[in-house]
Amino acid sequence: MNEREIGELRRRLKPEKTSITHIRGCYVDEQREIVSRFDQSVSILSEEEGERVLALMKKSLSGTLGKNLVDISFPTKVVAEGEEHKLLMALRNGGTKNDELLETFYRKVTEAVHLETGYVILLAEDAYDVPFKGRDDRVMDEGAETVFRYLLCSICPVKLSKPVLTFDLSGGAFHERAVDYQVGSPELGFLFPAFDARATNIYGALYYCRNLAENQGDFVTSVFGTQPPMPAAEQKEVFQSILGMSLEEECSLETVQAVRDQLCAMIQEHKESKEPELLTINKGTVKGVLASCGVSAERVASFDREFDQVFGADMDIQPRIVVDPKQMEVKTPDVTIKVNPERPGLVETRVIDGARYILVRAEEGVELNGVTIQIHEDPAEE
């Protein structure tokens, strides 16, 4: 799925636009036991309550594509024979009214999800009459090209609120607000099936995970019957490790900066093109970048081997996962230097009298603990 398709579905999750009539779910306590089940009719909620509930579910379609939102691909065998896929299809096709199917799904979730608090599982079915799009990419107000029926799931932590002191303006008195259970933003969620090319794709799903460092792999395996994707934070760490190990003595500040600059340029060019599809690059692209930055053929070949061993030869990576265009920092065990990404030339490395240094060019506005300091020439050097 791309950002436009996700945005199109997100805009539906409002009381006046959605066809969601009921939200089914259950509350799971800290011991991973189902305490209560519910079938909430959206129509009997107040306007504000309805908006809040749908806003919670909308957050399962939020975040950065490729980081928080990850495409799940079902192998043909899983679609044809997998119990997990059959269950998702049944739930999507009216199965949220079937208590037996719901219990099976709840069991899969509770056995796999690991949260520090209790949580609620929210499930809803929706049917979207997908409108025509003209050649100029404008959505027509009338007429539907197809109907996209889908299942949306959100798993939200539930915490006890803290007692607070309130003041009643009309009565002129203090009161303590009672402790209550508060539903937080979702930690996990998914959309099934995928909405690819503005049409139904039963071979895909869109998985949401708030924590970039932990993708709840057990949940992916239990609910989708597929191998979990590598978390975005781990992808970044592994890529950086491969780069350092394969380049060895050629992994200089200047080389890493040059690689970063080229990847950032690709990200910027893709952004300016307004291309809705996610930008990905393959191993060959990265090898070309390394070669253009002056890395020797031997070290490029080493990167090739390391990449295959960790990621696999055919894996595509996303530049905006492995580099951050908005951040640049130089780190030692004792010092962290944050650098304006648009001015990387302010920092250089140098060996002076046998000692290794990181040099930062200082012009004006230098402060130490908030105090502006002056930098003077060494009299001995004069």
- Can you give the pLDDT at residue 373? 87
DSSP 154: E
Range from 13-22, 79-88, 274-283, 307-316 that averages highest in pLDDT: 79-88
Q: Which of 380, 307, 10, 67 is nearest to 210 (CA)?
A: 67
**pLDDT of 178:** 72
How many other C-beta atoms are found inside a 10 Å radius of the C-beta of residue 357?
11
Average pLDDT over residues 11-32: 92
User: Strand 199-201 and strand 194-196: pairing?
Assistant: antiparallel
Q: Calculate the average pLDDT of the chain.
A: 90
Contact 73, 229 (CB under 8 A): no
The first and second tokens of residue 93, run together, are: 């096709």
Cα torsion 357, 363, 364, 370 to 10°: value is -20
Model pTM score: 0.84
CB 187 within 8 A of CB 174: no
pLDDT at 134: 60
HSE-up of 168 (CA within 13 Å, CB side)?
A: 8
The residues, ordered by sequence, that sit 6+ positions from 218 with a Cβ below 8 Å of its Cβ are: 111, 112, 113, 114, 228
Q: Report whether pLDDT(142) > 90.
A: no
* Residue 137 pLDDT grade (very low, low, confident, very high; cuts 50, 70, 90): low
Average pLDDT in the 85-103 region? 95
Distance separating alpha carbons of residues 244 and 249, to the nearest angstrom: 9
Q: 131 forms bridges with which residues in the sheet?
A: 144
What is the 3-state composition of the chain as percent helix, strand, coil, each rounded to the nearest 5?
Answer: 35, 30, 35
Residue 140 confidence class, pLDDT cut points 50, 70, 90: low
Least confident among 16-20, 29-33, 166-170: 166-170
User: Does residue 374 surpass a pLDDT of 70?
Assistant: yes
Q: Give the whole-angstrom CA distance, residue 259 versus residue 291.
A: 10
> DSSP 3-state assignment of 144?
strand
Q: Indicate if the pLDDT at residue 381 is higher than 90.
A: no
Report the C-alpha gap between 28 and 4 in whole angstroms. Answer: 34
Higher per-residue pLDDT: 273 or 177: 273
For residue 110, what pLDDT is reported? 95
Nearest to 206 by CA among 70, 66, 59: 70
- pLDDT(67) > 80: yes
Question: pLDDT band for position 249 (50/70/90)?
Answer: very high
% of the chain exceeding 90 in pLDDT: 63
pLDDT of residue 143: 56
133 pLDDT above the threshold of 90? no
351: β partners? 356
pLDDT confidence band for 135 (50 / 70 / 90): low
More confident residue, 371 or 136: 371
Residue 176 pLDDT grade (very low, low, confident, very high; cuts 50, 70, 90) = confident
Task: Determine the average pLDDT of the residues in 153-179.
Answer: 82
> Residue 272: how many CB atoms within 10 A of its CB?
8
Quick one: average pLDDT of 41-49?
Answer: 89
**Is residue 177's pLDDT more than 90?**
no
CA–CA separation, 269 and 264 (whole Å): 9
Q: What is the C-alpha separation between 58 and 53, in angstroms, rounded?
A: 9
Instruction: State the pLDDT confidence band at 199, using cuts at 50, 70 and 90.
Output: very high
